[in-house]
Each structure stands twice: as C-alpha cells, then as structure tokens.
Amino acid sequence: MSKWTIGVIGGSGLYEIDGLENAESLTVETPWGTPSDTLMKGQIGEVELIFLPRHGKGHRLTPTTVPYRANIDALKRLGCTDILSISACGSLKEAYAPGDFVMIDQLIDRTFAREKTFFGPGMVAHVSMADPICPRLSQLAGDAALAAGATVHRGGTYLTMEGPQFSSRAESHLYRQWGCDVIGMTNAPEAKLAREAELPYATIAMVTDYDCWREEEEGVTVANVLEVMAANTSKAKTAIQTLADNLQGIPRTTSPLGTETCLDYALITAPEARDPAVLAKLDAVAGRVL
C-alpha cells in the first residue's frame, strides 16, 4: 500500500474537522445498519481523510447505542487504511491532568450490552487483541498532537465502561488498583471491530476530568467535561491537520502488528460449513479472505 486513507472517528465535542479539500458528504448503508451519521470525505494534500462523528451530530447516540459495526464497516467500505479515534476520557492517574492527551496502548473491556464482532454462527473467527493499538499510527498521531500544543503522554491503559452513567467512587478506586490510566465508554468495541476489519487503530484520549477517585473533590459532571472539552477539541482538530501534513510524501507501509492480514490466521469455520448469508454481510470487512 502507498496511499493513506485515514478514518477519523470523532468523540464527544468533535463533530467535524477543518481544512478538508474537495470535501463531500457521503451516506453509506451497510449490512449492519446505518452509521452514526453521514461521513465527510476529503483530502489534505495527498492524504485522504474520512470523518465520522461517533455519537452523531448534536450528540444523539449514547455510548451503548453507537452503531459500532456499521461505523467500522462503512469506513472499510470507503477504502480506509487506518482508523484514528478521538475520545474524551477521565483520568485515573494524578499525572494525567484535564486537558492532557494520552496515546493509549492497551484496553480493558468492561462493556456488556454491545455487539462487538462481525463474526458469529455460520462464520466463526478469533483475532488476537494482545496489542490492540497500532504503535506506528499512535506514534504519528502523538507527534501531531504534541506539535498542536497538547501535553502528550505516551502509553496507557484505557478502561471501557458501559455507561452512560459515570463511575462510582468504589469503581474508580478499583480501576486504579487494576493499573488503568484513563476511563471512557467507547474504545474497546471499536478497536475489536477494527481489528476484525484488518484496519490499524489508534486513539488520542483527551482527558476532561479526574473521574471521581479524588475523595476531596466532587465527582465528574457533564459541566466539568464541557468546560475542558472546547480546548481539547481545538487541539484535536489541529492535530488531525498536522498529522495529514506530516504524512505528505510518505508512502504508507503496513502496520508492524500485521493487522492488514490478521484474518489469514483467524477463520476457524470449515469452508463447507460457512453460512452464505453471513458471508454476504462480511463482504467489506473480510472480503479479502472470503
């Protein structure tokens, strides 16, 4: 591969990106339903960007009701080579202050009410999630965030909770004991589905609050989050533009994790036992191997 086509999934507060040339709005239907919103496709120089607001414009969708499968399918169907997630999060670590950006490298999934796989009865597959984040894409995005003026922490474990409620103090303390660094409500389903779709995935986790583990402070509220979010969103938009600028003239190579071919070793259902109806739904995400 030589061309970068980066799918950008915008989280809370990020509902558009700036600087796109030849921008066009696309409506995509998938076998998994309708994505969160229309997708915006354009270029910054030689780099193609496809933007999708995770919660829909106006923040219509809860973390549980985001159509994760439709979103990832649509980005794959439109030719994305990589996915960059922009996500608001709470900090579980004193050193990660509101306003900081964390380039996470690990995930813990505590969600329980979501569809997290494209596969199932009739076509079973097991992909590795040992290393859920693409280190190459994370490094590039972190460099861009740093250039945008953000305080950037490299590495960290993101715990994905179901939500939409924030944590109890007991939960927040428990997650700190587990060694988690930040907490959010969206990234684990996305990362798993991106891996099944053979798309390298990375996250810029934007800290908005300290969750509720600091006993001397009030717990996190939407008012706290919105106060920090505006500044975070401005830096995130600049980081996306800077990332595209930095990639000009740099050919895209495959992820060091081998994500683009991970399904070569993941399919377990014998060819004669595969359900044609299930295979038809997998045309975009797994068409390369099916």
Question: What pLDDT score was predicted for residue 147?
Answer: 97
Q: Is 18 a catalytic residue?
A: no
The tens-digit pLDDT sequence of the chain (290 residues) is: 579 999 999 977 676 788 889 999 999 999 999 999 999 999 999 999 999 999 999 899 999 999 999 999 999 999 999 999 999 999 999 999 999 999 999 999 999 999 999 999 999 999 999 999 999 999 999 999 999 999 999 999 999 999 999 999 999 999 999 999 999 999 999 999 999 999 999 999 999 999 999 987 676 677 777 778 878 888 999 999 999 999 999 999 999 999 999 999 999 999 999 999 999 999 999 999 99
Question: What pLDDT score was predicted for residue 1?
Answer: 52
What domains sit in the chain, N to C, each tagged with a CATH number? Answer: 5-281 (3.40.50.1580)
Burial class of residue 158, CB neighbours in 10 A (0-12, 13-18, 19+): buried
Q: Is 82 a catalytic residue?
A: no
Q: 58, 37 in Cβ contact below 8 A?
A: no
d(CA 97, CA 83): 25
d(CA 213, CA 135): 30
d(CA 103, CA 148): 14
Q: 152, 142 in Cβ contact below 8 A?
A: yes
Q: 192, 102 in Cβ contact below 8 A?
A: no
- Tens-digit pLDDT profile for residues 125-134: 999 999 999 9
Two tokens, residue 105: 């490298």
Helix ranges (H only) for the chain are 68-77, 135-147, 169-177, 187-196, 222-246, 276-281
Render 38-80 in DSSP notation, one character per residue.
Answer: -EEEEEETTEEEEEEETTTTTT-S-TTTS-HHHHHHHHHHTT-
Please identify which of the residues 82, 105, 181, 211 carries the catalytic annotation: 211
Closest listed residue to residue 6, CA positions, set 83, 77, 68, 72: 83
Question: What pLDDT score was predicted for residue 233?
Answer: 87
Contacts of 61 (CB under 8 A, 6+ apart): 36, 54, 55, 67
pTM of the predicted model as reported, rounded to 2 decimal places: 0.96
Question: What pLDDT score was predicted for residue 227?
Answer: 74
- Tens-digit pLDDT profile for residues 234-254: 899 999 999 999 999 999 999
Contacts of 9 (CB under 8 A, 6+ apart): 52, 53, 54, 71, 75, 83, 84, 85, 86, 190
Encoded amino acid at 66, one letter: V
Please identify which of the residues 209, 245, 264, 275 carries the catalytic annotation: 209
